[in-house]
C-alpha cells in the first residue's frame, strides 16, 4: 500500500507529462493561428508571448527546482540533467527569437507571420525530442521519492 506521500510522488511523472501536453497544445494553437492567418498582429503577439512565458517558466522551474533535487537524490542522473539544461538553453535562444519576431510582426505582417511560423516549426520539433527524452529518462526518478520543496508549482502550473 502506498503512503499519501508516495501517492503524491508517483503523480509527479504524470504531472510532468501533462505539463508537456499543455505546452504542446499551446504551441499548436499559435502555429494553427499563423497557418490560417486568423490572428491579428496584437493577438499573435499576445499568444506568442504567453506561450514563450509558459515554456520559460516551466524550464526555469525544472532547472532551479526538480533538477537540483534529482542530482542530489540520484547523482547518476547528472549527465542526463546536464543535457536537459543544455536543451533548455537552446530552447531559450529560440524563444528569444520568437519574442523578437512577435514584437516586430506589426512592421511586416506577412513576412513576420512566416518567420514566426518557421521558428515555431523548428521549436516544436526540438520540444518533442526534448520532452520525450526528459520523460523517458527522469520519470522513474520522479516516481521514486524526489522531494517536492515547492518546485512543482512552477514546473506543472504555469498559468
pLDDT in tens, 84-107: 999 999 999 999 999 888 888 766
Sketch out the chain's domains with CATH numbers. 12-156 (1.20.120.520)
Contact 69, 147 (CB under 8 A): yes
Instruction: Report, as an integer, the average pLDDT of 116-120.
Output: 89
In the prediction, which pLDDT does 2 show?
38
User: Per-residue pLDDT for 3 more than 50?
Assistant: no
Instruction: Provide the percentage of residues in the chain whose pLDDT is more than 70.
Output: 85
Q: What is the pLDDT of residue 5?
A: 47
**What pLDDT is stored for residue 17 in this prediction?**
94
pTM for the predicted model, two decimal places: 0.85
Q: What is the 3-state secondary structure (H, E, C) of the chain?
A: CCCHHHHHHHHHHHHHHHHHHHHHHHHHHHHHHHHCCCCCHHHHHHHHHHHHHHHHHHHHHHHHHHHHHHHHHCHHHHHHHHHHHHHHHHHHHHHHHHHHHHHHCCCCHHHHHHHHHHHHHHHHHHHHHHHHHHHHHHHHHHCCCCCCCCHHHHHHCCC
Average pLDDT over residues 73-85: 95
Amino acid at each position: 500500500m502506498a503512503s499519501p506521500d508516495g501517492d503524491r510522488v508517483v503523480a509527479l511523472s504524470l504531472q510532468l507529462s501533462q505539463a508537456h501536453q499543455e505546452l504542446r497544445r499551446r504551441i499548436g494553437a499559435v502555429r494553427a493561428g499563423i497557418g490560417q492567418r486568423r490572428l491579428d498582429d496584437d493577438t499573435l503577439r499576445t499568444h506568442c508571448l504567453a506561450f514563450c512565458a509558459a515554456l520559460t517558466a516551466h524550464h526555469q522551474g525544472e532547472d532551479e527546482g526538480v533538477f537540483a533535487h534529482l542530482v542530489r537524490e540520484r547523482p547518476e542522473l547528472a549527465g542526463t540533467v546536464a543535457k536537459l539544461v543544455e536543451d533548455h538553453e537552446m530552447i531559450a535562444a529560440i524563444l528569444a527569437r520568437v519574442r523578437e519576431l512577435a514584437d516586430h510582426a506589426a512592421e511586416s505582417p506577412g513576412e513576420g507571420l512566416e518567420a514566426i511560423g518557421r521558428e515555431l516549426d523548428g521549436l516544436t520539433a526540438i520540444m518533442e525530442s526534448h520532452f520525450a527524452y526528459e520523460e523517458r529518462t527522469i520519470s522513474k526518478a520522479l516516481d521514486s521519492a524526489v522531494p517536492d520543496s515547492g518546485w512543482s508549482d512552477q514546473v506543472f502550473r504555469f498559468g
